[in-house]
Homo-oligomer: A and B are copies of this chain.
């Protein structure tokens, strides 16, 4: 079920739909209306309807959307209907948090190896040396590298990852990294979320 074009604004909302649909499924609920989705997720009902139009056939307006079809559709659109091989680069607090992240494995993200500049052990993994990343990637499939190193070395390590041939980076390093257009980068900037929080606190006072 490869889909039509999905607008960037809709893409940003996909994970929240998906998480909420999983939650409804767990509760044994079979149908959900655009109004309920909008209320719970703090979107407008018209956003929800427009988003769902882009998904193809997931239900009829007025009758509500079928949870199991919706789940399957979102799973397919998000590319969660397959497995991803992941390496974590950086075995500090963030690397550890990612390695221990619940649901990571359930969603099909499989941690294959952990790299750092220091040897050691993390969960069941013997930490490999970062200089061995390239030779590792020569023999093993890696879809995603988690970049979890201190900000002052983030660019250098990103370059190593890119040169190794890994095509996607999940960047936790708190700085923007420069890689070729060919490499997919998704950033988690903790500070962005913190600034939104301070905005909300300040606005309220």
Interface of A with B (CB < 8 Å)?
11-12, 14-16, 18-19, 23, 77-80, 82, 84, 92-94, 96-98, 100-104, 107, 109, 143-144, 150-151, 167-168, 170, 174, 176, 184, 186-204
Contacts and interface: CB of A to CB of B under 8 A. Distances in A.
B15 A196 contact: yes
B14 A199 contact: yes
Contact of A170 (B16, B107, B189, B194): B194
Given A15-B193, A188-B193, 20 more contacts: A12-B196, A14-B199, A15-B196, A77-B199, A78-B199, A78-B202, A79-B202, A80-B198, A93-B93, A93-B96, A97-B97, A98-B190, A104-B194, A109-B194, A109-B198, A144-B201, A168-B201, A186-B196, A188-B188, A188-B190
Nearest to A201: B168
Contacts of A189: 15, 19
Contacts of A94: 93, 97
A11 to B, nearest CB: 6
30 contacts: A16-B192, A19-B192, A78-B202, A79-B198, A79-B201, A79-B202, A80-B198, A84-B198, A84-B201, A93-B93, A93-B94, A93-B96, A93-B100, A98-B190, A101-B191, A103-B174, A103-B191, A107-B191, A107-B194, A109-B198, A144-B197, A167-B201, A168-B197, A168-B200, A168-B201, A170-B193, A184-B197, A186-B193, A186-B200, A187-B193
